[in-house]
Amino acid sequence: MKVQNKIIIVTGGGSGMGRELVLNLLSKNATVVAIDINNTALKETVLLAGDKKSFLHSFVVDITDKKAVEEFRDKVIIQLGFVDGIINNAGIIQPFIKINDLPYETIERVMNVNFYGTLYMTKAFLPHLLTRPEAHIVNTSSMGGFLPVPGQTIYGASKAAVKLLTEGLHSELMDTNVSVTVVFPGAINTNIMKNSGLSMPQKSSTENKSMKILSAAKAAQIIIDGMEQNRYRVLVGEDAKFMDSLYRLNPAYAAKLIYSKMKEHLKN
């Protein structure tokens, strides 16, 4: 679905990749509805929109609150008339600790934001999207959604759930006007750590130099291109592409490789 002249919702639009998705869509002459739980961050996104800000509508919404999501749906359709697409981008990670040490309240928060937030948005808007001449749903999974990352196991489980939800939805909507795309970002330069209320252990200078981290703006461009091409799945970053191929070829080796990269962060 070409985004020009379409109305598209972006969750987590206040910062990071979500903000860049908003700005990219505006540059392509889409009308954007940015939602976030952080009103200050949303106001910053509006300022960055510059002369495109008249095409940007912002709402503070807690996507883990099913009733709030449904109220938002009603409000935005009344205000704008219709919606053509959703990019479910909002997400958080967990502390870099093992399941054995992870409290249930943290597990539930990660699942609520990453999986249920995506599900609530999808369920709320799908009946409306099915009435549009064409529509599109983009759900953001993760490289951690198809291979194990120790210390991020619950995050990975939530993103694996998003992966299967999206792929199942794609199959269910195959004969409809609604296209569906699942996105697997690798390492992206965003503030997801800060937004998740976490701090990452310091890396060595050697490790920092060896890591290839994609900018949030480039990641957004890849995602929007995939949306416009009606891609089934979009791998964002060379690391995501490489690990996707390696995990298909030899999942045990891929798991050991990731463990070797992460084990320093799991020391108590």
Tell me the catalytic residues.
Answer: 155
Distance from the Cα of residue 197 to its chain's centroid: 17
Q: Which residues contact 88 (CB under 8 A, 6 or more apart)?
A: 11, 117, 118, 121, 122, 137, 138, 139, 140, 162
Sign of the Cα pseudo-torsion (111, 114, 119, 120, in order): positive
Instruction: Report whether 12 contacts 89 (CB < 8 A).
Output: yes
Of 175, 141, 176, 181, residue with least CA distance to 159: 141
Query: Angle at Cα 193 formed by Cα 9 and Cα 231, nearest 5°?
Result: 40
* Residue 23, H or E segment: helix 16-27
The two tokens of residue 146 are 């198809």
Strands ordered across the beta sheet of 85-88: 56-60, 31-36, 7-11, 85-88, 135-140, 178-185, 233-236
Q: Which residues contact 248 (CB under 8 A, 6 or more apart)?
A: none
